[in-house]
Each structure stands twice: as C-alpha cells, then as structure tokens.
Structure 1
C-alpha cells in the first residue's frame, strides 16, 4: 500500500504453464522497463510496484523455447494473470464519436467470432484469451447504445516484441471500420512484403500475404494500390467501406520472383564479450541480405550485402536477437526464425581462468610411458611458493582414466604465468599410503626486476627452485635449484592433437649446462600452454612432454563437484562463482532444492541412488542462464563407530566405562568381547553410545563396536581396543613377620653350633 500522499502501486501475480497445463520452466515477467522478476520452482511469480494506468507486460519463457508474449494491461488494482507458452491475449478498447471510451453498458459488446465469446466493456476495455499465437481470429464491436452498427477486424494473433508490444491490442472507433484480405500470386502463393496503400496510409502484407487496414470511415470510398518494391502487382481497386465485414482478397497477375527462404547456420549460444561470426544460408533469387539486431527496421540494420556471414562484436552484455532478410528487386523474404545470442559480461578482474575450465593433455615420459590427464579449475587459493613468496594460484583437479578409486591429484598454478607452484598426489587407500608433494618457485626477472612471463616486460632470466617430498619409505626427497636464461619468440605456428595454433614460444635454458630445461608454447585462445617439454631441471635425467588434445572454456556456470560414485549420504554440491550472476538455482532430479547467492549447498541423509544436479545462474542483465549438470551415484557405507575409551588394564572384579561417538539414525549398537579363549561374545546391544563393562575374562579382552541403522544398513566392526584384566597377587600377613624372624634366628644358631662342633672335632 502507498503511504499517505504517495501514488498507489499495485501487484501482478500468477503462474506460468506449458500448453498442456504443466508448470513451465523458469520464466521472466517484466512490466515496461522495470526490473524483471523470475518464477519460482512452482511456476509462481509476483511483480510489485506497478503504478496506475496502462502498461506493457512481457513474459519470457527462458526454458521453453525462449518464446515471449507481450500484452497491454490497465491497472487500477492488484491483478492476477496466468501465462501459457505459445499463447497470448487479444485486447480491445471501444470509443464513441467524440473519442471517449464507451460507457459500461450491456448493449455495447465486443465478440470474438471464432469462439462465440461476447464481452461487455469495463471502462471501455475488454479482452479475450489466452489463445494460440499464429492463428487468425475475427473480432466484432457492436454499438448497441448508439445505432447498432458493427465494426470488424480480422487478424493473426502475434507473440509481440519489444519494438511492437501491442500487435494484439485493437481500437474500435464508432463510425469506422476495417478492410482486410489475402494477396496471392497466380499460383496461389502468398505475396509477402507487399504494400497496400490508400494514399494516406499503408500496411505491409505478412508472411501469409495478409493485410489489415483499420479505422476507415464508413461510407468512404477507398482507392487501394498494391506494390512490391515499387512494382505494381495488382491494378488499383476502389471499394466502399460499410458496416459489417469488409473482405478484399486479391490475386496478382504479375509473376514476381521473390527471394527463397534464408536461414541461420549459426546456432543459439552463449558467448563472452568477443567477436562472433554469424553465418546464414540463402536460396534462389536472392540479390543481397540484411541482418538486423531486433526487429526488422532500418534503425536496427547492422549489415547489408552479398556475403552469407558477418562478424559482430558486442558492445554490451545481454540477450541479442538477430533477424535475417533476403532481398531482390521484387521484394524480400524475412521468414527465417530469429537467432538468439546471449552475451556474458566481461570478468571484473584480470583472471585468465574460471571454475569449470579444463584442458586435456597426453603426457609422454622418457623412459617410454604414456598418460592421458585432464586438468580442471575448481577454485583459487593463496599460498607460499618455494621462495616463501605469497602467490595467488588457481587450484586444479587432475583426472586420469587409470586412477583407482580414492587416488587423487591436484595442481596449483600461478595466476600470472599459469606454471605449477604446488603439486600433490596421493595413492588409492586400497593400494598404499604413498603420497608425493611438490613446492616450486619461479622467479622471473628482467635486469634484476621481477617480470611476468606472459605480459609486460618479458623476462630474461629465471631462478627456479623445486622441492619434492616423496612419501615412500626409504625414498629420498627431490631438490632442484637452478639459474636459467629465457628467450621468447612470438607468432610461432604449432600443430598438436587439439589443432593448429599460433603460439608464443618460450625457451628456458639451464645456465649451468646449456640444456633447455623447458620449452613452452602458449596460446591466448586456449588460455594455456598447448605444449610443454619438461627436461627435469638440474639433472636432466628424465623428460616429460605435455601435448594438448582438447580443451573446454565454458561460458556457462560450472560445477566444481566431481561426478562419480560416493559412499557418503551427507555431501556438499559446489560450483564456481559466475561473472554477472546475482543468484543460482540448483535442481536435484528435476526438483528445485536451492535458490540464492551461495556457491555451495550441503545435502544430508540422501538415500542410495542416482542424483542428477543441474545448475542455473540468474544474471544481472535479466535472464536465467542454463549451466552445468553433474551426476552422483550414492551408495552409502556406514563407517564403524569411533571408540573414545583407550586401551588399558583393570584388576579382577573392577568395571570400566566404554563410550563411542554417536551415529545418526541408529537402530542399535553392538559391543563384542574376545577373550584369551578366542570366543567372541556380545556383551551389549542397545541404542546408547556408552556402556559399563563388568565381568570381563582374566587376561586380554579385544573390544569392538558395531552400529546398525534404521534403514537396515550396518557398519563393519570398529578398530579394536584392549582391556586387560589382571589377577591380584597374595600379599604377606603382618602377624607372620616375628615367626619368620624367630625361625631365621634358630637356623642361624644351629649352623653356628654345628660349625663349632666340627671345628672342635
């Protein structure tokens, strides 16, 4: 509601549907030049802040053929309107002799002849629909309050456009009527693009050869001429305008060769702010082509000529609709469906890479060994290089068709030169616990000043350092530290498996022995090196050659979550931040599960099965961009409980508390004990994550915990802890001590007497 003293504003709300009544995909609703709103997952929309009066309202069905519908609406209150793909409304206003809206009366009506619907007026207005666009309809106004005269229009229902939003909005004026009809040639073929004129106004026939000339005075004589590109195709016709229907079909006796159909070869696509070559293919009888941005109007012309292609450089981000027209001296053919191109905004920074970009390489090692790897950007990270300098890096996931489950590798590339600053590889847990981690430093300089390898003043020297930590027992770590000279050559043509490229060739030579430690070929289109030869600086004992076999620089939002099998039911779906996006939509198996600005969503308690995720980005420039999709196969494996109690010893007869970390959705916990006899006994089964152990066997007891879930799954048993039950040794009684002393004394006395007796003998 409006505050006191402010103009009121209204709200338009409703749903969007497909022709069969299903919920339509993401759809943008816009009123005049106001910011658009998008439908939610249920197909609902709400547009607020509409001022009183007449407005143009547009629906853009982003996910249903990129179709649109434009219509006019007059607002004096909140309104509800449901839209259907491929349909639109017919609206009408009725005026009296003074140009004022006809007052509300049951006597003055407007009828849609084909359906039989007849509507009274509300503030001089009425509407019908929605009906299928492309079909023809007849509408009749009956002036029952004035003289019972009638006025007709026959028309083709259009979807409308930004330049012509009111094609389906008709004005009826008392005392006026229309004339309409189809024009064909001698073979019955529609004559499109013909001009029908009465001397004061003119109309153009559509692709069906149909024309409509409105609001001509009843009783007047109209002298109509028919021309195509200045050529008279039909003799002039005089006709009187009467009430009722005024059909005037005409057939041309002039054989006019019009251009045959032209169509775009270039398909709808998303591009960055860079040149795009648009191609089309024409037919016979074509002298030249005209390419338009938007509607076919001289103000929108971008190319006129004989070529069947045109390179267009966008000047701003947004959705561009191209139309192509074939022409000759007799007329034109503009029947080609438009071409839609979505132009993304340039990145706000200088980043070469963004999440989702990937490059495929073949790696050839010496001694002979071949690998195929894919490097995919999944984020950025700040870290220190081998010289302890802080570097901004791109984080890349390394994929290899021969990797085992759980085997993983990552690379961190410097954002300035795209060279590795850090490497990491870990073996599959089922194979070994081996790992390898590398830290590298690239200090490029020119006359002692730091230089960038790919821009600015070219470097002439390089101080390189690399430390490899090799997590294999008994294997020494690797270390290299070299000084190098650099030569750079531009515009070097190189052919690799991915194609032929014009590259910048970089040679890095070891100052110690004159051997080229690296050779690199960089291409700006690929945004990476198309070939690298690494001869292991320092020892030069090995060589690996990277050759580009393919690459993907997507212009749509991309997941950074890796596709594949997972054994957890709580996980995170992540994607890269997309330039120009204000929010994202995440769908799981067709259902919208997230909408907002975040680039990750935590998902919990997923059942076993396949999950397909699809990503959309809501762009600042007013459209919903279809992004990446990824599939995860969830097969949940419950891990064993984590026991908190440590291995320890107790005395016979003592009890001990055993506890473990709780597990969600637990049905039962089972605790087993295996004593010295080897027999395994369940000593607890319940839902608590703690128990007091009593009556354990003497000696060592192996204790393990297992969990069962409410869905029937169970874990393996936990790692063992050992509880040792020790026997108590019998201690000496205090009352026996004097006796022991007495007996010891008597024994000593007897020994002394015996010794003396022997001596005396």
Structure 2
C-alpha cells in the first residue's frame, strides 16, 4: 500500500514539475523572421534594412532577408528602403513561432484585436475591410490585413457574435509609422462601442490641419486632409464634439449620440484663424572669433512679427528678418526663431548655431590647424574621403550632462556641395565625439543631423579617463541623433560595455605603419564588439576606427588614416575659396605656437602687423584676393604659411523702412490720404539699429550707411493691393509722398548702384491700411449745447452765439 501511495505521489510530482520545465524552455526559445523585400510595383528591392525593436539591423541580400533571435511576444518591426525612396515602414508583429513576412515599399498593414468584456467565453467576431472585401473570423488574438497602399483611406468593420448588423466601424488613412508612433494602423474593436470620424473643413471647403477634435474625453488631431478618428465610445451615450486650434474654439460644439453603424460626422469650422507659418534661417552654421555675425531668416505667411531667442533668452522682437549677433564670450550659441500673430505663435523646428572660437592653450594635445584625412568605408558599400581640421576648443555638456573640454573640428569632403557644412566636437581626453552636426547645402535641402553623445568610462565603478594610468574597464555609452529630415525617425542608443586595452599593437594603414594602443569596446548585452580603435601618440589621433554602432543607416563604418598634418607653418582658419558678399570681412588664422607677431599680406602687400589672430578688411572691390600669413618667432625668424584665396562679390543690402515706423499703419480717409514713406540702408554688420527704439536722427546715425546711400542710382518702390503689384516711385531720393485710396497696401523697396553694378533684393514688407470714413451724426448733447446758447442769447440768433455753437460741433468733428 505504501509503495502504491509513493508511486502515485511521484506521478503527481512529475505532472506538477513538467509544466514549469516546459515554460522555462519556451521562455528561453527565440524565433526567426524571414522574407523578401519589394518595390511598390513588386520588383525586388535594393538594399533594405530590417530592424526588430532596438536589436541590430539585418540588411537584405538580393531581395531576401533573415532576422534571428526574436523572443516570443509583441514587437515593433521596421523596414528601411534605403535605395528605394528612402522610406520607412513600421508595424506590430506577434511572435510565437518562425514568421515569414514580405515587405513592399509604400505599403503597410492593418493589425487589430477584438474584445468582448460582456462574454465569459470567446465570441467569434467577423472583421472585414470594405474597400477590398477581405474578412477574418477573429477569436480575440492579433489579426492582420494587408499590406495596403500608404496614404489611402480604408474602412474596417466588426460583426460581434450573432449580430446581423455590424456594430463598429473604423475609417483611417494608412500611415507608414515612425519611431515615435510605430503602430499607427493598430486598432482595438470593443463590443458595445463605436467610432466617430469625419473631416473638419473651413467655410470654403479647405481642410483644417492640426486641429484638436475632442469627444467623450478622447482627442484626435486632424491630418493634412482635415480627417479625424475617435475610437471606442460606448454605444447609447451622448457626447459633445468640439474642435479647437491653438486653444481657440473654431467650430460650434455639436451633441451626438453614439449608435451602431457607420460613424461619419463632418464638421465645418465657423472660425478660421490665420496662424503664422514658421520662419526658416537662411544663415547657416558659422564660426567666428569675435566678429559680428548677421543672422538672417525668411518669414512665412500670416506673421506680424518675429521673436529671436539666443541661448534661451529673447534678444530681438520686431518685423525685421535679420539681426546682428555680437559675440561677448566664446562657445556655441544656439538661436531659435518664433513667428507671432494675434492668433498664436510657432517656433521654427530648426535652430541655428554660431560657434565663437576662444583662445587656445599651447599645452593642448591638439592645436588649431592640425588635420587628419581618412578613407571612410561604410557598409553597405559606400566610401568617402574626409578631412578633419581642428579650428578651436570649447567646453560642452555631453549626453550625460557632464561638462567636457572639447576640440572643435571642421569636416571637409571633396563631394560637399556649396554651403554644405559639418562639424565635430571631440573630447580632449578620449578624442571621441561628444557632438556632431551636419547641414545640407541650402540649394539642395534644409536637412540636417545633430548628435549628442556621452562616454562614461569607469574602473571598478570610479570614473576613469581612457588614456590615464588607471585605464577604464567599463563604459556607459549614450547617444541621441536628431535627424532633420521630414518623416525620418530620430536615433537613440544606450549601451553598457566592457573595455579592453592592449598596448604596442602594430597596424598598417594607407598613411603608413604605426605602433598603437588598441582599444576594444564590447557590448555586455550581446557581446558584439561595437568599437575598435587604434591610437598613435605621434599622430595624436586614431589611425583606424571600426564603428559597428555608427548611429546612421550603415551597420559598420571604418575610418582609415590616409595622411595627417601637424602644422609647421602658420595656417588660416578662414576656408579656401570663401565667397564674401560684403566688401567688409575678416580673415582668421590659427595661433602658431611660439609666435610673437604676425604679418598678413594681401596680394603681396602687408595689410596688418600685430599679435592678433584675426583682421577685418574694409571696402574691398569685387574680385579675387590672395592672403599669406607670416609668423615672427622670438629669435626673429619668420615662418610663412600657405596662401589663401577668397572671392569678393558685393551684394547690396535691402533697404529698411523708417516711416511708417509701425506695420501695419492705419490711416483714416478723413485725415487725408497722402502718406510719407522713407527708408535707409544700414551697415552690413548692424542691421538691428532700428529695432531697439532708437531714432535714426539720434544716436543711431552712425549705423546708417550714408556712403552707400550716396552711391545709389535709384530706388524702386512698389505697392501691392488685391494681388496686383505696380511701381509707384523710382528715383534717387530715399523718401517720397504717395496718395492712396481706401484699402490695404503692401509696400516694398529695392535699390540699385551702378558703382558696384549691384541691385539689392526687396525690403521686408510694410503695410498701410487706409480706412474709409463713416458718416458722422452729431450726438444729442451737442444739439443741447447749441439750444442753451440760443436761450442765453434771448433767441437773438446773434452771429457770435451761432458761431460759438457751430465751432463746438466743428471741433468735435
């Protein structure tokens, strides 16, 4: 009997243990995602990246891809079609086995679940897509339709249980998704609930984009078509639907009952406020030592004035589209521009950076003018030749908020277009990037990229520098990459790593053979070697870098040194072939170690002698200029640097209106219809003279460019009303008087000088509004005064009394 009991007990124990073992096996198993990638028309796609959550990307090969190591559960999958439209597609997947999934550029999927809180068991639900006539019998798990074309509208509906009439509808616009919204086409159907959707349009039938439509505590933001979707409101309930834009209610509230069936509810805006469009900086990222920098921007429509912020503080407010920044301290200064009108304001999403270079210590590892050239190979296959030139130093906060000493480095590439710029801020201790910045050529696009990085090296939990006597063994790495490309997701990395350092490792590059310190940084999560670096003390930099976490579309980027240059002669900081559009400009050069004096030669003649590293040249004629810098050493020896060529093409600045001083200026027809208009030309580097409430006849006289104004042959003043533009003045005087009928007028003026053969662009607009006079009726009290005068005068109607009463009325008029 005891043996029987023991046998039964052992069987029960095995039954209890086996599910636990099976569960542990399931939790430890991973699965694969495989498939093909196609273009929109079904042809095999070129190189395409597939990424699951934050795992390492897998690139397609001949239109096929494989992705291993996916745990069970819900995940975000992204396909990036690098060479087929530069587009991305995000969707949700549920993984419980190996999955085959084919991707099409420009197409995405619908994913959904059904819920029935009122049923104790599973209730079959039929869900169909009206436009394609496809249907699925859902039991509550995640289901999928598609892929369907992105940008098109689709309607899906759900039949719960035995209900003959579909109770819930959802209509939506297929979206590609993004890193911030990876599941845009994922929906929930809940029994006893329905949706409301429709278009918000203005009284002219145009869509209202970006408005917040609210109903039952649920918000939806209208898309570019004015479409909104509010989901899962309980059937049988009453709700008030509202629409507002920038906090202003733009439609009358509407009460609606939630019923089964289609959920159309279109709204017409009764108020259409014109909100300002964002301004865009036309000045690109720039460096300066201590010279003023003119910051320029272009405003959008419906803007009354601009507010310019520098380093978070308001530094200008007015309707000019330029401002002169005069540096007071070195560092990177960040500017943002806000457009404002009476209905609201909007800040431009793109900022401007002006880098003010500080003096540099001779004890620094790097000095201005040092440069390193690399052959850069990216995987998938792409190569570049880049040169990195040190141009200064700066204190900077890294991605962890720690202040770091950095070297400012200018990146040059022979394939860069005119105006395309890139910079790096390199940690002075580890020589690793703390900040990166790139902006496209203005003629090509307004795209940009800005990266913030942090390298927290430690040894036994204590901070350690990479090349110190107590080298680090661990690294916490963090990076945020802001990608200034519409619709492109930003990039984020945060990893824990182990650091291995080996000395006296020999390596051969295109620049020669080197004995190096080899650094290997391994991700502790997946044991992937994220970085390999070879540092040489003679070069004072890395001679080779293999970066397997580059924060770009590449999986690996290899930098191999081809040449380096530690200056043995003075070097210019001003770039070769710089184009100056003003006849006043500065030439900058690097501090040459040990030099006591410099001479700057222009076309063979000395134009400056002294110990500064910058000199401002004035009133240069158009043409090409060649400069050479010569340094004098303590011994009296002179060392000459390489020549620098620049070009000067004078551009006449646009005039600035002085009267009317306010825009718009309102004039009553009864006060006269003649308007005095005047303008001035301002000095190139002081375009803000009239923005600080200073009179042009007072302290600001010196900022008016009288010399250039005297050389102007003619000004052309134009007026625009009702879309028609005509010239109303052409002459050499910077003032005129014009007669205007009632209406709203937009005035602009430009200038021409035959001396330089230069014609300016048009000025910023100023507006004059001439208002019609309304008929005047004397109020009763004026007639009462006249009656009293008549009584006092004994009804004599004397000429004096009548004159007095009449004059009172005329004075009121």
Per residue, is there more helix in 1 or in 2?
2
TM-score (normalizing by structure 2): 0.45
